[in-house]
Amino acid sequence: MVESLSVGTRLMAIYDGEMYAAEVINVSKKRINAPVKVHFVGYDDEWDSWLPVSGLKSKLLPKITKTPELPKRVDYSGLETGMRVQAEADGVWYAAEVQQVSKAKKHARAPVKVSFLGYTAESDEWVGESRLRSKVLKPFVEEGKIADKAKKSKEKPDLGKVDVTVAATKDKVTKQKKKNVGDLRKRVVSLADPVARFDRAKDEKNERYLNITSVYKTEAMKGKKVLVVGASRGLGLEIVKALSSAEAEVIATVRTSNDELSALKIEVIDSVEVTNLDSLVLMASQIKGPLDYVIFNAGYSPDIVDNLDSLQESAAIKQIDVCAIGPLRCVSALKAAGLLKATKIAVISSQAGSTLWRSTQNKGKGGDYGRHMSRAACNMCGVLMAEELKNEQVPIVLLHPGSNRTKMCKKSFQMWDVEGAVEPSVGALRVLHEVSGISMAKSGKFINCEDGLFIPW
């Protein structure tokens, strides 16, 4: 079947439930289950994967015809319109809502119509039991057998058999937990849909996502000299507070200081304007000795309507000035002052800067041009700086801090609950967990602080 494929063949390949343009780089007859190794076009070599034929799409591959199977007899009577369930699409489980349950013969195999939360009606599908998860789904029992089943349930169980069954169940659960952990470790790319991403984390009980304190080690930042640019409020202020609690040597920069910063008894450099290179050069001159970490958190995201009918040109230019050219000026000033000696740099960006994710998060609506363009430019800036500083062993990463309940993110407050938005104090720990793990191997990468996975450009 794979004989028709050769090195260099272009096709579509699946990754984490989504199809991407890829190129065949190896074909092996020894690897029966996953005989084709592909390189995803536009991505680093570390994402290269061995895939089964079922995970590939190409005109060179023959269509796989499966022997039709009779659908399992399942009792769908417990499902109601509007009920929340889990539904599968392209190998990934998403939060969904029941739209209709049909008894028609034409829907015998897939009697339940669902809508995927966060997606348009175009994505609605009819699904069967193999693609549904719900506690109300039960095996179908014929009426004549119900009495026998009830009678058997009243009989006293064999306690010896019960012990064996309990032990077997525990063993099965333990194996499943290990499998889930293994599946999580195999993931590389984060999920584009923030609602589905949060639902998947809850479904899998992903501690890394749901309880950052279970993985973040405060001692990692103890005694480290950390510069935080943009620390007067919100996420930046909470990052400074967390660093102070971890006994790090913190230097916070702001345009105007405040009482909360003063109460922390840390070094504060005020009157710093990231849109002015001279201001950043002056800031750098006030810092003594090399830095262990730099966290560029300054940002600007106005609460405005920004679309083709209401173009916000000046606001877009200001966002690019602050979010994209700001970190460029900052790193340039620090480098010129000799402060970057194996320093690890994190630039707070946003998932809004992923062009690939616009087809999911902005599907059919576009808009917010200044926000998305400034973050995409920020990412480009980060990647270029990472390349320029590679020989000096100064890594730079771009971080999406996750959804935080801050003033800057208030524009999307209606989605906070379904997207799993956290308080900025929690978001700060997510950021610091990723910052503490910066290395040259991660330099130039775009990382989601919620799950630690990469975000595609």
Q: For a pLDDT cut of 90, what percent of the chain falls above it? A: 58
- Residue 195: per-residue pLDDT: 94
Cβ burial of 318 (10 Å; 0-12, 13-18, 19+) is middle
Does the structure show a pLDDT above 50 at 70?
no
More confident residue, 315 or 167: 315
Whose tokens are 């913190």? That residue is 250
Architecture of domain 194-448: 3-Layer(aba) Sandwich (3.40)
CA atoms within 13 A on the CB side of 107: 14
Does the structure show a pLDDT above 70 at 353?
yes
Would you say the CATH fold of 194-448 matches that of 9-57? no
Whose tokens are 């209709």? That residue is 100
Contact status, residue 399 vs residue 348, Cβ threshold 8 Å: yes
Contact status, residue 252 vs residue 266, Cβ threshold 8 Å: yes
Does the structure show a pLDDT above 60 at 177?
no
Q: Is 178 left (phi over 0), alpha (psi -120 to 50) or beta?
A: alpha
Secondary structure (H, E, C), 102-165: CCCHHHCCCCEEEEECCCCHHHCEEECHHHEECCCCEECCCHHHHHHHHHHHHCCCCHHHHHHH
Give the residue from 434, 454, 450 showing the smallest Cα distance to 207. Answer: 450
Does the structure show a pLDDT above 90 at 457?
yes
Asked: is 76-127 a CATH 2.30.30.140 domain? The reply is yes
Give the residue from 435, 431, 358, 373 showing the smallest Cα distance to 400. Answer: 431
Domain layout of the chain by residue ranges: 9-57, 76-127, 194-448
Q: Lowest-confidence range among 101-115, 242-256, 339-353, 415-429?
A: 101-115
Give the residue from 285, 297, 359 showing the smallest Cα distance to 326. Answer: 297
- Residue 415: per-residue pLDDT: 87
Give the residue from 270, 298, 287 showing the smallest Cα distance to 336. Answer: 287
Does the structure show a pLDDT above 60 at 179?
no
Strand pairing class (396-400; 125-127): unpaired
Instruction: Determine the average pLDDT of the residues in 13-36.
Output: 84
pLDDT in tens, 414-451: 889 999 999 999 999 999 999 999 999 999 999 999 99
Instruction: Determine the average pLDDT of the residues in 252-274.
Output: 95
Radius of gyration of the CA atoms of the chain, in A = 26
Q: Which residues contact 19 (CB under 8 A, 6 or more apart)?
A: 12, 13, 57, 90
- Residue 450: per-residue pLDDT: 97
- Residue 151: per-residue pLDDT: 52
Q: Predicted confidence band at 181 (pLDDT cuts at 50, 70, 90)?
A: very low
Contact status, residue 283 vs residue 333, Cβ threshold 8 Å: yes
- Residue 182: per-residue pLDDT: 47
Q: Which of 2.30.30.140, 2.60.120.260, 3.30.2130.10, 1.20.120.160 would CATH assign to domain 9-57?
A: 2.30.30.140
- State pTM to two decimals: 0.65
Q: Lowest-confidence range among 29-43, 157-171, 253-267?
A: 157-171
Distance of alpha carbon 129 from alpha carbon 135, whole angstroms: 12
pLDDT in tens, 103-143: 888 888 889 998 877 666 777 889 988 889 888 888 876 65
The two tokens of residue 411 are 């524009």
pLDDT in tens, 317-328: 999 999 999 999
